[in-house]
Amino acid sequence: MKKLGCFGSGCIDYYTNLQGGKAFIGGGPLNSAVHASGKGIHTAFLSAVGNDAYGMGYQRVLERYQIDGSRLHVLEGKSALCEVTLDGNERLLGDYEEGVYASFSLDAEDIAFLQDCDMLLTDYWGHQEKHFHALRQNGAKLAFDAADRVGTVKELLPEIDILFFSGSGVEDLENKMTGLYKSGPSLVVATLGENGSITYDGCFTRGKAVPCKKVVDTLGAGDSFIGAFLAAYLNNEPVSVCLEKAAKEASSTLAYYGAFPQEGCL
C-alpha cells in the first residue's frame, strides 16, 4: 500500500461569526490527509501542536480518520489559530497566530519517517523548505500547495514534483503553467473553483467542477481536492480520473462548515 506523508502547520480555524465563535481543527496538510484517508493508501500527518485542548483535538481527529500521527509533536504552549469570518458562504481569513509551530523544524527522526513515504505533501505555510532536498533523497515525490502565492515560490520549483496552485484570476494561465513545468515539477495543477481545474505535464488535461446543491462554506475545498487527487494518483489512476475524483471530494466539502466532519473532536 502506498504511503502519503502530509506535513507542515496544523491550524485551528476559528469562525468568529458562527454560533458566537466556533473552532474547527484544520490546516492544509491535515485537511488533505483526512480527505485522502480511506482511499486505498496509508496516510500520515506530521506537525507541531500545543498541549491545549486544540492539540488534544488533533489527536482525536487522527484516531477517527485512521491517520498515522506517530510523529505529531505536542509542545508546551498554544496551537496555531487563524480567525475566519464568513461572508455568506465565502470565508475571509483574518489574524493568524502560529503558536508553537512558529519555532518548529523537522528533526532527523521526522526526516527519516517522511523519507519512507511514496508521496509527501506540504504547503506554503509549512516553512520546511530547507529540508526539501533531503526529504526526496530516498525517492519520495514532493507535492506542494502554493495556494495563491505561486509567484513567490520560484526558487523551490526544482525540488517540487507536483505543484498545486489557485489559478483563478491568473492571466495567460496556460503559458504560466508551461513556465512552471519547465522550472522543475513533473505535474502542475491549477484549481479554478467553479470553472474546474487544469493540469500540465507536457500536455493539458481539463477537469470539470462538480456542482454542490447548497454551498455552506468554501473553506477546505482546495485541500480536499488535493487529498483526493493524490490518493488517486498514488493508486495509479490517469490524471483525468484524479481530477474527477478530486472535484467530487471538493464539492462534498462545500456542504458543511469546516474542512472535514469533526463532531466530538473538540
Here the CATH number for the domain that contains residue 68 is 3.40.1190.20
Residues 216-231 have pLDDT tens digits of 999 999 999 999 999 9
pLDDT surpasses 90 at 89: no
**pTM check: above 0.75:** yes
Contacts of 152-158 with C-beta under 8 Å, sequence gap 24+, read 152/124, 153/124, 154/183, 156/129, 156/132, 157/183, 157/184, 157/185, 158/183, 158/184
pLDDT surpasses 90 at 187: yes
Cell of 109: 527522526
Mean pLDDT of the chain: 96
**Does the residue 260 lie in any domain?**
no
> Which pLDDT score, from 0 to 100, does residue 61 have?
97
Q: Give the percent of the chain with pLDDT over 90.
A: 95
Cell of 155: 526558487
Neighbours of 222 (CB within 10 A): 25
Domain extent, residue 241, equals 3-253
| Phi, psi for 170 (deg, rounded to 5) | -80, 125
Residues 120-153 have pLDDT tens digits of 999 999 999 999 999 999 999 999 999 999 999 9
**Does the residue 262 lie in any domain?**
no
Residues 8-61 have pLDDT tens digits of 999 999 999 999 999 999 999 999 999 999 999 999 999 999 999 999 999 999
Q: How many domains does the chain have?
A: 1
**Does the residue 263 lie in any domain?**
no
> Which pLDDT score, from 0 to 100, does residue 88 have?
85
* pLDDT, mean of residues 187-202: 97
- The DSSP element (H or E) to which 222 belongs, if any, is helix 221-234
